[in-house]
Amino acid sequence: MSVISSTRILDLIQQGKMYLSPILCMEQIGAISVDLRLGNMALLVRGSGTSHVDPRAYAKHDAHGTSRTQRQKFDQHEFMFREQFLLHPGSLALVPTLEWIKLPTNVKGVVTARSCWAREGLNIATANFINPGYNGIITLELSNLGQIPIALFAGMRIAQIAFHDVTPDAAGEFAVSQFQMSFEPRAGDIVKHDRSFIPFLGEKRKK
Amino acid sequence: MLATRIFLTEECLNIKRLLDDTLRHAYGSAKSEEFYNECRARLNSLSAQVDVIDEANLAEIHTLASQIHILSDTITKIERSHIGELSWPFALVIKEMALEVCRENVAAANEEDPLFFFSANGGMFVYAVSPERTASLSRRRIFNVVFPRSFKYQVLLHTILGHEIGHVAYAYHELKHELETKVTTVLLQGSPFTSISDFRDWLEKTYKLKLSAPALNDALARWRQEYFCDLFGLLIMGPSFLPAYRSLFHLLDYTGSRYSATHPPIMSRYSMLQDALTFLGWEKWEGINHQNLQQPLNSMYGPMRQHVSSIPAAMRILAPKQVEAATTALQDILRRMRNTLYIHPKPDELSEIVSALLEGTPAICTKIKVPKRGNKKRYVANDPIDFRHILFAGWLAIYHDLRDKRELSLFKINRLCDRSILHQDAINTWTEHFEKELVPKNVGN
């Protein structure tokens, strides 16, 4: 599983096999990665919204309860270009990339923070794997590990994506991501396919 | 009972508190300042008038109270304006277009550029631009653009706002006069809407309706303006205006012939728009050889043509020749206003956008290019796309045979179009502020 070089990234885009747009300048393309820019929205965890993360809230088959739990958890902010968004120390924000990406079925992506931002305390909580065939924006889990707030602006390069070949026989065999064709960040379903282990609220114990 | 001056003084103080409260919300520092200063200037002017009010002059009190009421209403709407409730990339392009329409008249009226703010209301039919008719309290008007809240991402329907910008144009006296004489009068020539007596006779004959003279005058003025705004909307928004128009207005009045004091019967308006569309050649588009375009064009406009052919003669009120003449006249006026007149894209360009949407990606697609001369270092290119071409392509994608097979819902197509407009905004922002610093010297053909 080799890392794809910038020459091949450019080939894939030029040949229409991979969609990655908008790329605003060549400086966005590194030797083995493409820089990703901050999009125009942030979901910020709302301290007063919920007391704790409870998988049982996701397991409930209750339209109001499930939806409310997810909506109450985050404050949603949208900001235009050249408008500031402050990320405070200890905060977690789900943000979209400005770029839309559509990967071929034999290429996967790996998203990481940019080191220059990491040195300011801005981190991306996880190294995101982007499945082959994924189509949509990429959600980044930003956190401020520093001591002081960080001002962010939509359009800034805050992350980078590297691409890897996937063996052809694996392509097409994987499950479609629950985030396929995402237009904006949203909470994931943390108990998907794990509900058997979660005693959801109101459930009667079987004897 | 409080004395009028004390009451109004107190209300001015209340409005000052309300105005300060608007700053609690995050509009972006540059965005709030202009509105704050404008409203503050108006409030200061009203407060000064209240200070010297003659308690015996009831007419003056009434006028002043009314102005204070309007200012309170405007500030409340501004306070409730949140970009998270509407498609702000679309709102920005609409604002630019409306500003262009106002620009030359603003200078002529010795005013500053108007301020536009956006809000969302409930209901499907709430699209509006509420223009201030005068700038009496200051030299700056405030326009409120209203979107339906549930249509946050339904940008394909937002083309209806083209009609509303027509009302903005009519709000400026000089421009209104020109539009009335060169467009509206031509459009309505030979119809019952050229004189009060003809209009009265037509209403009596068609609706068995007798209106008082003031009501008749008011209805005629409104109807004339509505016909104009329909044509205006079509010419600035392009072919996607009509499917949006039909989708919404068909639900508003399924008979299409219902009487309204404020708007002419929908069937008559629709018939006029179809005649304009035919004249403009947008429904058939001679000379194109793209299955990608022809099939959805036929699917979109076929049923519309059929619908128009079923409209009774009594509702085909405006003569096609007059529609053609008015369309030409309005095109001439719009050419003066930068980027307002819709220009058809080349078929290849449009086909490419339709294909991108059907692939489930936004229309804006960065291309990797190789310079034709110099060194062969590749570079990125983002060809600008007019938002109206994105919307036209969006409608064609909706009517495309491939859409169902690719499981692209109406919502997804709308969001892809919304995303495309956002991407174009990003490219424009980049180009405007940064590109000159970084563009490689060897780029270009």
B311-369 tens-digit pLDDT: 888 889 999 999 999 999 999 999 999 999 999 999 889 999 999 999 999 999 999 99
Beta strands B115-121 and B142-148 are parallel
Asked if the structure places residue B108 within a domain, the reply is no
What is the C-alpha separation between B374 and A30, in angstroms, rounded? 22
Question: What are the residue ranges of helices labelled H in B209-258?
Answer: 213-237, 241-252
As a dihedral over the C-alpha atoms of residue B213, residue B216, residue B221, residue B222, rounded to 10 degrees, the angle is 140
Chain-wide mean pLDDT for chain B? 90
How many domains would you assign to chain B?
Answer: 3
Which residues of A fall within a CB distance of 8 Å from B352?
Answer: none
Asked if the structure places residue B342 within a domain, the reply is no
Which residues of A fall within a CB distance of 8 Å from B367?
Answer: 13-14
Q: Is the pLDDT of residue B439 over 60?
A: no
Nearest to B277 by CA among B294, B255, B256, B302: B302
What is the C-alpha separation between A4 and A8, in angstroms, rounded? 6
What tokens appear for A99 in the block? Answer: 């770029």
Asked if the structure places residue B71 within a domain, the reply is yes
What is the C-alpha separation between A84 and B134, in angstroms, rounded? 35
Q: How confident is the model at residue A144 (pLDDT cuts 50, 70, 90)?
A: very high
B9 and B138 in a single domain? The answer is yes
B133 and B169 in a single domain? The answer is no
Asked if the structure places residue A1 within a domain, the reply is no
A135, B365: Cβ pair inside 8 Å? no
Asked if the structure places residue A202 within a domain, the reply is no
Name the residue of chain A whose CA is nearest to B383's CA: A22
Nearest to A111 by CA among A188, A33, A3, A18: A33
Asked if the structure places residue A203 within a domain, the reply is no
SS3 B137: coil
What tokens appear for B177 in the block? Answer: 């006069």
B169 and B311 in a single domain? The answer is yes
B260 and B185 in a single domain? The answer is yes
Asked if the structure places residue A65 within a domain, the reply is yes
B427, A24: Cβ pair inside 8 Å? yes
Asked if the structure places residue B340 within a domain, the reply is no
Length of chain B: 445
The confidence score (pLDDT) of residue A6 equals 94
Q: Is B91 in contact with A80 (CB distance < 8 Å)?
A: no
Nearest to B226 by CA among B266, B186, B258: B266
Q: Percentage of chain B surpassing pLDDT 70?
A: 94
Lowest mean pLDDT among A25-39, B70-84, B191-205, B228-242: B70-84
B203 and B132 in a single domain? The answer is no
Lowest mean pLDDT among A38-47, A104-113, B283-292: B283-292
B25 and B169 in a single domain? The answer is no
Q: How confident is the model at residue A67 (pLDDT cuts 50, 70, 90)?
A: confident
Q: Percentage of chain B surpassing pLDDT 90?
A: 64
Nearest to B94 by CA among B127, B70, B125: B127
The confidence score (pLDDT) of residue B137 equals 66
SS3 B295: helix
B426, A23: Cβ pair inside 8 Å? no
How many domains would you assign to chain A?
Answer: 1
Quick one: which H or E segment has residue B115?
A: strand B115-121
Asked if the structure places residue B341 within a domain, the reply is no
B143 and B213 in a single domain? The answer is no
What tokens appear for A143 in the block? Answer: 């956190």
B401 and B429 in a single domain? The answer is yes
pLDDT tens track for A170-195: 555 566 677 788 898 887 777 777 77
CATH code at position A73: 2.70.40.10
The confidence score (pLDDT) of residue B180 equals 96
The confidence score (pLDDT) of residue B152 equals 93
Asked if the structure places residue B69 within a domain, the reply is yes
- Residue with the bigger pLDDT between A24 and A66: it is A24
| Range of the structural domain that residue B271 is part of | 164-335
Q: What is the DSSP letter of A105?
A: T
Number of Cβ atoms within 10 Å of the Cβ of B424 = 22
Lowest mean pLDDT among A95-109, A178-192, B44-58, B216-230: A178-192
Q: Is the pLDDT of residue B444 over 60?
A: no
Residue A160 burial by CB count (10 A; 0-12/13-18/19+): exposed, middle or buried? buried
What is the C-alpha separation between B123 and B281, in angstroms, rounded? 34
Asked if the structure places residue A205 within a domain, the reply is no
Asked if the structure places residue A207 within a domain, the reply is no
Asked if the structure places residue A28 within a domain, the reply is yes
B326 and B358 in a single domain? The answer is no
Number of Cβ atoms within 10 Å of the Cβ of B372 = 8
Query: The pTM is what?
Result: 0.91
A183, B368: Cβ pair inside 8 Å? no
Residues 6+ apart with CB under 8 A from A80: A40, A154, B28, B83, B88, B92
Q: Is the pLDDT of residue B374 over 80?
A: no
The confidence score (pLDDT) of residue A169 equals 56
Angle between helices B241-252 and B266-280 (to 10 degrees): 170
Which residues of B fall within a CB distance of 8 Å from A22?
Answer: 364, 366, 382, 423, 426-427
pLDDT, mean of residues B197-223 = 94
What is the C-alpha separation between B232 and A124, in angstroms, rounded? 49
- Residue with the bigger pLDDT between A56 and B190: it is B190
- Active-site annotation holder among A27, A78, A141, A203: A141
B187 and B210 in a single domain? The answer is yes
Lowest mean pLDDT among A115-129, B191-205, B391-405: A115-129
B33 and B140 in a single domain? The answer is yes
Q: How confident is the model at residue B26 (pLDDT cuts 50, 70, 90)?
A: confident
pLDDT tens track for B135-186: 666 678 889 999 999 999 999 999 999 999 999 999 888 899 999 999 999 9
Nearest CA to CA, how far is B47 from chain A (Å)? 34
B402 to B193, B299, B381, B408: CA distances (angstroms): 45, 12, 28, 9
Lowest mean pLDDT among A11-20, B104-113, B117-126, B209-218: B104-113
Which of B419, B425, B439, B441 is most worth mutating to test chain A (most A CB atoms within 10 A of its CB)? B419
B187 and B266 in a single domain? The answer is yes
- Residue with the bigger pLDDT between A179 and A75: it is A75
Q: How confident is the model at residue B288 (pLDDT cuts 50, 70, 90)?
A: low
SS3 B345: coil
Residue A135 burial by CB count (10 A; 0-12/13-18/19+): exposed, middle or buried? middle
B366, A40: Cβ pair inside 8 Å? no
Q: Is 0.85 exceeded by the ipTM?
A: yes
Asked if the structure places residue B105 within a domain, the reply is no
Name the residue of chain B whose CA is nearest to A6's CA: B378
Q: Is the pLDDT of residue A151 over 60?
A: yes
Which residues of A fall within a CB distance of 8 Å from B437?
Answer: none
B426, A155: Cβ pair inside 8 Å? yes
Q: Hunting for tokens 């209106």 — which residue is that? A: B211
The confidence score (pLDDT) of residue A75 equals 87
Q: Is the pLDDT of residue B441 over 60?
A: no
A83 to A33, A117, B7, B31: CA distances (angstroms): 27, 19, 40, 10
Would you call A141 a catalytic residue per the annotation? yes
Which residues of B fall within a CB distance of 8 Å from A78?
Answer: 83-84, 88
How far is CA B254 from its chain centroid? 23
First-to-final CA distance of chain A: 50
A21, B26: Cβ pair inside 8 Å? no
Asked if the structure places residue B102 within a domain, the reply is no
Q: How confident is the model at residue B443 (pLDDT cuts 50, 70, 90)?
A: very low
pLDDT, mean of residues A7-14 = 95
| Range of the structural domain that residue A107 is part of | 6-197
